[in-house]
Amino acid sequence: MEFKSSQILSKLATSDQHAENSPYFDGWKAYDNDPFHPTQNPHGVIQMGLAENQLSFDLIEEWIKKNPVASICTREGVDAFKDIAIFQDYHGLPEFRKAVAKFMGKVRGRRVTFDPDRVVMAGGATGANELIMFCLADPGDAFLVPSPYYPAFDRDLSWRTGVKLLPVACESSNNFQITLQALEEAYKNAQKANIKVKGLIMANPSNPLGTTMDKDTLKSLVTFINEKKIHLVCDEIYAATIFRAPNFISISEIIEEVECNRDLIHIVYSLSKDMGLPGFRVGIVYSYNDTVVNCGRKMSSFGLVSSQTQYLLASMLSDEEFIEMFLKESSKRLGNRHKIFTRGLVEGGIKCLESNAGLFCWMDLRPLLKETTFEGEMELWRVIINDVKLNVSPGSSFHCDEPGWFRVCFANMDDETMQIALRRIRTFVGERKEMDAQVNNKRWKKTLRLSFSSRMYYETSLSPHMIPSISTSSFTTCSCDLNIYLKVII
């Protein structure tokens, strides 16, 4: 007797709430099925949908070579193997938590300090985001999220927790900055729908915009959540990817200046972007709420960072001279790559939102849309994936309200691959514009023929002295022929 999966498995296992049915993930699958390689597969898909920082690996590799004792898997470090390999408390190694807290302060210009006893570990930012949701909300509760926002938030924050995400629309007219008016409207709409709003979650620096929030905006957000008595979760995983002014301002700095209930303030952090170590799965929840810290530590047993990783990173992050050099050089390399990449796009006639952080650009392809709709955006995206062979992510997968914006990552490849990607983009844009020009030219010729045909018919219907000439006075005295002559002139 056969059973359907829905009859013998859990609702979670058989649901489609994982959010993998998004173009964001479909682009990854297209890359996995046909990955670019400079010699083995030069016509394959180039991965520009993955926000990885691969520009400073050589610096970390050099440090590891110089510090073999930091690893328990080397001849020099094997003496620590037994102590690290046995069971470790889920609070984390004390030296690791101390090093992470110090590093967080360093990234924020030492303008604020962090308490190691508030550092809670998780399996990457993914695990950290889910952990904080489990601590703050019940199934059916909601969090406001400024859009466009990271597509995997739908999975990370909602899939297993049952928490709802309510997008707060931000518009290109003010460079997608969040406004109190939009927040208030989203909050009131939730109340009208009998949805309990438990908080606001935002990424600063923004993914996908690559922008940072100014002090006034951050203060207004703290005031908003304090008045509403809801939580504020700040995802700051791109804090050290700033490559030009303005500098990054952490929410931890703001609460030093604004009076608020600190129990409502929480930070999500990781080493995936700032250090380029996503495979290490180091996620951090830093909360100013004692109960959240205590609960989070208990929950972290389901997603600990391995003791071996903690041990290595504790040594690396404690090396102040290295960290100082790494952060400075990483920022410089990101800035150079951003400059070269965006200039290459401009040469192809493509503009991006002005940004100062992150591993990506918010690319404006609205001029290439055949129609200004999300269907038009998806049509363009399919051409870019299937024909141009670039995995870029459409704005609709980031819940952007305006069709035609795409996120494109620039830090996960070498210089040569980036130049190949730029050539593909420029070639595509050039061909697209040429095709549009040809189509418009055909339309113009057709309109021109019809216009002259109309005029010829009109001329045969009038006596010679009544036929107006193509002049301003003719349009004034013979308004019935205005459209005909405009078509001829245009």
Active site residues: 150, 235, 237, 273
- Tokens describing residue 55: 């520009």
Nearest-angstrom CA–CA distance, 277 and 321: 19
Contacts 24+ apart (CB under 8 A), 312-315: 312/70, 312/71, 313/96, 313/99, 313/100, 313/271, 313/280, 313/282, 314/93, 314/95, 314/96, 314/98, 314/99, 315/67, 315/69, 315/70, 315/99
CA 259/CA 265 separation, integer angstroms: 12
Which one-letter amino acid corresponds to residue 8?
I
- The number of angstroms, rounded, from the C-alpha of 233 to the middle of its chain's C-alpha atoms is 17
Strands 142-147 and 164-169: parallel
Between the alpha carbon of residue 82 and those of residues 89, 103, 189, 285, the distances in Å are: 15, 27, 57, 28
- C-alpha span between 36 and 419 (Å, rounded): 13
Structure tokens at 45: 């898909």
From 325, 266, 326, 260, select the one nearest 296 (Cα to Cα): 266
Question: What is d(CA 102, CA 112) in angstroms, rounded to the nearest whole number?
Answer: 10
Burial of 427-445, coded b for 16+ CB within 10 Å and e otherwise, reads ebbeebeeeeeeeeeeeee
Distance CA 179, CA 169 (A): 9
